Amino acid sequence: MELRGQRVLVTGAGGFVGSHLVELLAGQGCAVRCFVRYNSENRIGMLRELPADVQAGLEIVMGDLRDPEAVRGAMRDVSAVFHLGALIAIPYSYRNPREVFETNVMGTFNVMAAARDLGTPRVVHTSTSETYGTARFVPITEAHPLQGQSPYSASKIGADKVAESFYTSFELPVVTVRPFNIFGPRQSARAVIPTIITQALTGDEVRLGTLSPTRDFTFVLNTAEGFLRAAECDAALGGVFNLGSGFEISIGDLAQTIIRLTGRPVTFRADEAERLRPGKSEVQRLWADSTRAREVLGWTPRIGFEEGLRRTIDWIAAHLDHYRPGYTI
């Protein structure tokens, strides 16, 4: 389907990835409706960082994914729904697993049920590489077993299966994208790359947890383009698509790369007591095979890893007031 000129909805629009997707969709000529979690101060999250002319054209709807009426109201008269809304912080999922399950699983059910009843032409559902857990083989294809190593990852597995069931049971036109570790401007300080960058820019030492886990980091604009390709590709319906860069880097090597790019004389050390997940919950290795996305969606990462890091460093350097130096995940 062609999205240009269509009205679309983005849930989780005020988040890091959601705000970039909103900006991309607006640039494609879409009328973008943004579903943002209600708050008493009427904050719109990272949408506030978008250019003023883009913000002026957005339709903001406040609500909660757990409220089926709010979700249904936001989804009326749209041609596509990009479902990014979720509680994504893994440490938070240890403390409040019920809220995470209610938001991520039942929130996804509400989106899928409304799409079925309203006849929404296209739904793009957001998964996560955390659903794979520690890699049993690499690179990880979409056939890799799903492993719930945290309440967050278990909730996203549940959400993925809700989307799958609505495709198989009701022929809902849904596509699932499974991004690997996304980074870029506007990302929260709870994520590892902003944490390293903030410390590297403001001090003489970077403190990290365990240095050995590896991740497949993907620049946020590449991921947003993957969402767009998934929505427009009719052959993708019912499919699951990894969106990753296709290489892995350890957290220790990542820190060294960031320090080199900042050009500052910074050292780093492991601080295991502060940063480790529970032992059985730690995901040791993630490395994407995105062959299916390349072959079906025609998607490949356009912006390289180090170029993405440079853009992220520049953005954080200009927005240090958004971060707390020394903050640890």
Asked if 164 and 313 count as a contact pair (C-beta separation under 8 A), the reply is: no
Longest dimension (CA), the chain: 58
The residues with which 9 forms a beta bridge, in sequence order, are 33, 81
Domains and CATH numbers, the chain: 7-183+218-243 (3.40.50.720), 192-215+248-286+303-322 (3.90.25.10)
Provide mean pLDDT across the span 180-193.
94
Question: β-strand 7-11 against 31-37: which pairing, if any?
Answer: parallel
**The pTM of the whole model exceeds 0.85:** yes
The pair of three-digit structure tokens given for residue 216, joined into one six-digit string: 């497949």
Q: How far apart are the first and last CA of the chain?
A: 40
**pLDDT tens digit sequence for 153-176:** 999 999 999 999 999 999 999 999
**pLDDT tens digit sequence for 118-163:** 999 999 999 999 999 999 999 999 999 999 999 999 999 999 999 9
Q: Is the pLDDT of residue 327 over 70?
A: no
Looking at residue 220, its pLDDT comes to 98
Percent of the chain clearing pLDDT 90 (strictly above) = 88
Tell me the pLDDT band of 310, cut-offs 50, 70 and 90.
very high
Q: Is the pLDDT of residue 13 over 60?
A: yes
Q: Is the pLDDT of residue 279 over 80?
A: no
* Chain mean pLDDT for the chain: 94
- Specify the higher pLDDT residue, 239 or 324: 239
Helix axes 220-232, 16-27, angle to 10 degrees: 60
Looking at residue 328, its pLDDT comes to 40
Tell me the pLDDT band of 321, cut-offs 50, 70 and 90.
confident
Tell me the pLDDT band of 326, cut-offs 50, 70 and 90.
very low
Looking at residue 280, its pLDDT comes to 79
Task: Name the H helices within the chain.
Answer: 16-27, 52-56, 68-75, 90-95, 97-101, 107-118, 151-170, 192-202, 220-232, 251-262, 272-275, 291-292, 305-318
Q: State the Cα–Cα distance between residues 181 and 104, nearest whole angstrom.
A: 18
Helix axes 192-202, 251-262, angle to 10 degrees: 40
